[in-house]
Structure 1
C-alpha cells in the first residue's frame, strides 16, 4: 500500500488523563495471597515492565466520555469552529456498546454538525493511526476539509477481572500466570487530533505518509474479550508476541524509509506504541534507533492501547520535545500482528 500525502496537515492534539493513579506496587499489594503462594518477589511487575503506574477513570466512565473530553480540547486548541468538522472517527479498542457506533455518542456530546460523516475504526492498538490514514485519504481527495479523530480507552474492567481471576484460581502456577500478567500493564486515557487539508488551513505540520505490514499468522498471540462469568480478560503470549511483533516492525520500518526516502539520521523524534521496557529496547536495537530520540510515557501511563502512541506524541509536543522544523516518526505495533508507521514534518 502506497501511503503518500501532499495536502494533509496535523493541526492540534487534545488529551484527557484519568484522575485515578494505580501503581504497580498497589497492584502487587492486592495480589498479596498469590505472590505469597507462588513466592513471587515484590517489585516484579515494575521491574519486568518498566511501568510504575497507570491511570484509571472513575466508575461509570464510558469510552465516549474520555474521547469527547479529548476531542473538545483538540477543537479548542485548534480554534476551528466545530461546525466546520466534516468527519469524526472513533478509533479505540474500548467502546460504549456494540451498537450504535461510539462515534455517535462523541458526535452528540461535541454538538458536531449533522453533515459530519462518523464511524468507528477498530484495529487493536493501531486504531488511531489507521484513523489518521483514513482521514488523510479523505483530505487528500478533497472529500473533507477538516476532521477529528478521537480515542478513549477504559482499562478498569480488564484490570479488575484479571485481579479477580488471579486471586480466585488457586491452580495457577508461575508459568500459567504469564498470559494474564500482560493485562496488568494496561491503562486508561483519551486523545484526539484535528486534521485539515492544507489549502483550507495550513498549519505547517504535515503528514507525509508511511507504511504498513501485516503478519496475521500470529493473530493468536494476544486475544481478549468479555463473557458473563469472568468479565473482560485477555491472554497474551508475551515472549512470542515480542519476537514476532519486532519482526513485523522491522519489515514495516524498511518499507517506511523506502517509501518516504528518509535517512535514519534525518528523523529527530520517535513516538512509539508502548508495551514494556523490554519491547522498547529490542525495537530500538533492531531498527537501529537512538533511544535518546524517543519520547516515552510508559513509566507513568503504561500501555494505553490505541491511545498510547498518539498521546505520547501529544504530551511530547506539549512538553517541547518536538518543535516546528523537526521531523518525527510515529511507530505503531498491534496484536494481529500489524504494524503501521507514519512520518510527520512538524
Structure 2
C-alpha cells in the first residue's frame, strides 16, 4: 500500500497518574513467589519493565480515548467541527454495543457529519485505523480523520493477581499468565488529513505492508470472565511466531518502499519488552541504536504502545524533521503492519 496524500497533522497522548512498579506487582504476589520459590525482581529482569500506569477504578475506555482526543484537538490546527471520521481503535471497549466510538464522539462534542466506528485488532488496532483512515483520505472520501485509543489493563492485571493466588498453580502452569503482568494503561490520538490541508512541515504516511498468520491465533487469547478479564499467552511460541511474521512482512515492506534496513532514521515498535525488541531487530538486520522505547515506564499498553512511543520520540527530539521512521506493529491473531513515515525538512 502506498500513500501520496496523507499527512499526520498532530499526535498526542494522555496518561493516568497511578503508577505500579514491577516491585509493587510482585509485592501483591509475595505469597505466590514464596510458595513457588520465585526470585524477587524477575518481572523487571525478564521484561525490562520498571513500571506501568493504571486509570482509576471505574474509568471507561471511551473516557481515556476522549482524553487523548482532547489533547490532540488542542494541538491540531483544525476545529473539531471539521472532523469527518472518528475511529476508536483500542482492545478495550465500553461494551459490545454501541460502538465505543459513539461515546467518544459524545464526550468530544463532534458534529453530526462525523462518521464513527470501532476498529479492533488486538495491539494492532491503531495502525489498522491509520490504514483505513489513510485509504479514505487517499481516495477522496474524507479530508480529516481523528483516531483515538484508550486502553485500561487494570481489570486484567487485578484479576490475574487474584488468579495467581490459586494454590493449585505450579511454576509451569503460571507461565500463560505472566504476560498479563506487563500490561499497562494509557491513551493516544492522532489527526490524519489530506496533506495539502496540513502545514507543509507535517509528517507524511508514505506506505504500509501487512502480513497475517492465523495459524498462530491460539497463542494469545483474552476474554471476559464474569465481571473480570482473562488472558492466556504462550509467550515463547508467540515470540517465535511473531518474529517469523515480522520477517515475512519486512520483505513486503522493503519491496513496497524500496527501503533497506539502513533507510529509517528511527524505528518504533510495539512495546512488549526487551527480549522481543532484541530478537526483532536481530531478525530484520536493524540497528538497535535506532530503537526508541517506552515499555520501561509504560509497559505494554496494547494498541496505544506503538503510536504513543512515536509521540514520545517526537517530544524527546529522537524523531524530527528531515528523517524517516518505520512503525513496526504486531498483534495477536497473528498480524503485522509496518508503516513508512517521512517528515519533510523545510
Please report the TM-score for the alignment, with normalisation by the length of structure 2.
0.97
Aligned equivalents of 2:310, 2:198: Cα separation in 1: 21
Instruction: Give 1:274 deviation, angstroms.
Output: 1.1
* In structure 2, C-alpha distance between the alignment counterparts of 1:203 and 1:195, rounded to whole Å: 14
CA RMSD of aligned residues (A): 0.9
Of the three residues 330, 335, 338, the one matched with 2:332 is 335
Residues in 2 aligned to 1:336 and 1:59: alpha-carbon distance in whole angstroms: 29
Q: Is the CA contact (8 Å cut-off) linking 1:10 and 1:203 kept in structure 2?
A: no
1:172-183 residue pairs with structure 2 within 5 A?
172-183=169-180
Match of 1:243 among 236, 240, 243: 240
Matched ranges for 1:67-216 at <5 A: 67-167=65-165, 169-204=166-201, 205-216=203-214
Distance between the aligned counterparts of 1:24 and 1:200, measured in 2?
44
Q: CA shift at 1:265, angstroms?
A: 1.6
TM-superposition CA deviations, 1:211-256 (whole Å, max 9, x none):
0000100100000111217x21100000000000000001001110
Deviations 1:273-322 (A, max 9, x none): 01111111000100111111011001000100000000000111111111
Equivalent pair of 2:292/2:309 in contact (CA under 8 Å): yes
CA distance in 1, matches of 2:145, 2:120: 18
Cα distance in 2 for residues equivalent to 1:295 and 1:17: 19
Instruction: State the partner residue of 1:44.
Output: 42
Partner of 2:316: 319
Corresponding residue to 1:279 among 269, 273, 276: 276
Q: Does 1:54 align with 2:52?
A: yes
Residue 60 of structure 1, CA deviation:
1.3
SS of 2:197's equivalent in the other structure is coil
Equivalent residues of 2:262, 2:286 under 8 A apart: no
* Cα distance between partner residues in 1 of 2:264 and 2:12: 24
Where 2:92 maps in the other structure, the secondary structure is: coil
CA distance in 1, matches of 2:15, 2:153: 13
- Tell me the residue number matched to 1:233: 230
Task: Measure how far apart 1:200 and its partner are.
Answer: 2.6
Q: Deviations over 1:20-64 (max 9, x none)?
A: 000100111110110000010100110011100001001111111
Shift of 1:210: 1.4
Do the aligned residues in 2 keep the contact of 1:269 with 1:294 (CA within 8 Å)? Answer: yes
Unpaired stretches in structure 1, ≥5 consecutive residues: none
Q: Is the 1:126–1:334 contact (alpha carbons within 8 Å) kept by the matching residues of 2?
A: yes
Q: Give the match's secondary structure for 2:4.
A: coil
| Aligned equivalents of 1:198, 1:315: Cα separation in 2 | 23
SS of match in other structure, 1:100: coil
**Alpha-carbon distance between aligned partners in 2 of 1:101 and 1:173, rounded to the nearest angstrom:** 40
| Offset, 1:203 | 4.0
Count of equivalent residues: 342
